[in-house]
Amino acid sequence: MNRAFSRKKDKTWMHTPEALSKHYIPYNAKFLGSTEVEQPKGTEVVRDAVRKLKFARHIKKSEGQKTPKVELQISIYGVKILEPKTKEVQHNCQLHRISFCADDKTDKRIFTFICKDSESNKHLCYVFDSEKCAEEITLTIGQAFDLAYRKFLESGGKDVETRKQIAGLQKRIQELETENIELRNKVQDLENQLRITQISTSPASSVTPKSPSTDIFDMVPFSPITPQLSTPTRNGTQPPPVPSRSTEIKRDLFGAEPFDPFNCGAGDFPPDIQSKLDEMQ
């Protein structure tokens, strides 16, 4: 391992001071993870952490899990670890909490730094894998430290307090954004449950049957299929009964039976008319 903070002061840095003080330098790398260490610095400390995380990553790789990719944003305020696509901040390591940074000379893809966690006050070692930029990332973090120290001397220490306040506000903003996302998800779940409840409590059988409509004479329309209902009309009176069909022979106004030439007897007509009727049959 190689200490990045032991560079000479007249070392020619890779980036302009404005790029690190007003903006940030982005890098892409694979994140092997972080693990707690007992000491805030030391080559042997980070070497043990790298060995431990490499072994854990090897087990996960054998199970089919890929090493997650992250984006690093390096500035004089710290190192942010983001998800590359969504830009969600996974870790925000403030520069004044980083105590050690190094790249592995035996494995040129590996670089690490140790940062003191703001909540647990434990020292965590972050390990990354970058095929081409491991040493460059280490030098960039070292340049950020050099610029931050110079700014500290120029401001007489006031800038450190300002950065702490800004870091606290950034952390609070991140917490509020996380709470906002959780609340949106809860509201969406409640809306889905409400839709399911409304659908389940309104079956087709609960529809009230409509009463048959009546015409201008308050009469229910006749349908030969539906049975006759004894439903009172709007004025409260019952409709007149429907006369039943009788099998008896109907008679006309004079009491005579209906005339049917085919059902008459043979002796009811004269011979000449009867012969014509027989021809017609």
Mean residue pLDDT of the chain comes to 79
Do the beta carbons of residue 84 and residue 69 sit within 8 Å? yes
* pTM (whole model) above 0.95: no
Q: What's the Cα-to-Cα distance from 60 to each of 32, 88, 91, 122, 129, rounded to whole Å?
A: 11, 23, 21, 25, 15
> Can you tell me the mean pLDDT for 239-265?
59
* CATH architecture type of domain 17-155: Roll (2.30)
User: 167-196 pLDDT, tens per residue?
Assistant: 777 777 878 888 888 888 888 888 888 888
User: 126-147 pLDDT, tens per residue?
Assistant: 999 998 889 999 999 999 999 9
Q: List the chain domain ranges.
A: 17-155, 157-197
Strand ranges (E), the chain: 2-3, 25-37, 69-75, 78-82, 89-94, 98-103, 110-116, 123-129
The pLDDT assigned to 255 comes to 66
User: 104-123 pLDDT, tens per residue?
Assistant: 888 889 999 999 998 888 99
H or E segment and range at residue 254 = none
pLDDT at 148 over 80: yes
Residues forming a β-bridge with 101: 113
Most confident of 84-93, 246-255, 269-278: 84-93
83 versus 176: the higher-pLDDT residue is: 83
The pLDDT assigned to 10 comes to 46
Nearest to 36 by CA among 25, 44, 46: 46
